[in-house]
């Protein structure tokens, strides 16, 4: 017998499978995880269709979390998430590389540290959300750029994805995708200009 609830799962409400074999009863527990989708492009800024789809999913009642690692904005950050359609939470880094020119970042150690710290804060928030089971879809926009810049550890991302708890899909976008992550994907989409 498989017992499950609606499409929204929590860590306390895992599915159980009861297996009866010759006077023995074994209970096996398994989590509900959606698929991993990777969107690859040779250039940055090529993912408006993903943002459009996240808005549509939110309007249809799915709880969506959109994280943009390399984009920042005025009064952004984990504590200032933007809510759209009632179900879409859009979070950007409080300080990001896109807000400043690269020369200014390299010449200002405090600014560089602030950018790294806010990106790490965003990643730690993502890890909690991937474990919470409260979202139907999580989009990690330009996470591969954060890995390439050595802000986020590739092995930490892999471990987090392997141990995630989300009934919906996790969407990862970026330009240079590590082979280990390509092997984890259920679907890979290459976007061309």
Q: CATH number for the domain including 58?
A: 3.40.50.300
Q: 23 with 47, same domain?
A: no
- Distance of alpha carbon 138 from alpha carbon 142, whole angstroms: 13
pLDDT in tens, 36-66: 999 888 766 656 778 888 889 999 999 999 9
pLDDT band at 32 (very low <50, low <70, confident <90, very high): low
Q: 24 with 62, same domain?
A: no
Q: 154 with 172, same domain?
A: yes
Q: 86 with 139, same domain?
A: yes
Residue 25: pLDDT above 80? no
Q: 115 with 160, same domain?
A: yes
Query: Rounded mean pLDDT of the chain?
Result: 78
Lowest mean pLDDT of 6-15, 76-85, 134-143, name the range. 6-15
Per-residue confidence (pLDDT) for residue 193, from 0 to 100: 66
Higher pLDDT, 53 or 155: 155
Q: 74 with 11, same domain?
A: no
Q: 76 with 136, same domain?
A: yes
Q: 146 with 125, same domain?
A: yes
Per the structure, the count of domains in the chain is: 2
Q: 42 with 20, same domain?
A: no
Q: 21 with 76, same domain?
A: no
Q: 124 with 174, same domain?
A: yes
Residue 111: pLDDT above 70? yes
In which domain, by residue range, is 175 found?
33-191
Mean pLDDT confidence for 161-179: 86
Assign 53 to helix, strand or coil.
Answer: helix
Q: Which of 159, 158, 161, 162 is nearest to 178 (CA)?
A: 158
pTM of the complete model: 0.76
Q: 2 with 88, same domain?
A: no
């Amino acid at each position: 017998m498989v017992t499950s609830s609606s499409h929204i799962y929590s860590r306390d409400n895992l599915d159980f499978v009861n297996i009866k074999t010759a006077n023995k009863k074994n209970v096996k527990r398994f989590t509900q995880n959606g698929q991993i989708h990777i969107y690859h492009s040779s250039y940055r800024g090529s993912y408006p269709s993903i943002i459009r789809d996240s808005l549509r999913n939110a309007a249809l009642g799915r709880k969506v979390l959109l994280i943009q690692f390399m984009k920042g904005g005025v009064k952004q950050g984990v504590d200032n998430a933007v809510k759209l359609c009632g179900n879409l939470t859009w979070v950007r880094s409080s300080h990001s590389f896109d807000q400043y020119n690269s020369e200014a970042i390299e010449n200002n150690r405090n600014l560089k540290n602030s950018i790294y710290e806010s990106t790490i804060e965003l990643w730690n928030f993502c890890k909690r959300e991937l474990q919470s089971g409260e979202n139907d879809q999580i989009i990690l926009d330009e996470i591969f750029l954060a890995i390439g810049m050595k802000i986020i550890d590739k092995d930490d991302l892999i471990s987090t994805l392997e141990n995630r708890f989300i009934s919906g899909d996790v969407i990862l976008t970026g330009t240079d995708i590590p082979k280990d992550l390509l092997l984890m994907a259920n679907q890979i989409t290459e976007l061309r200009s």
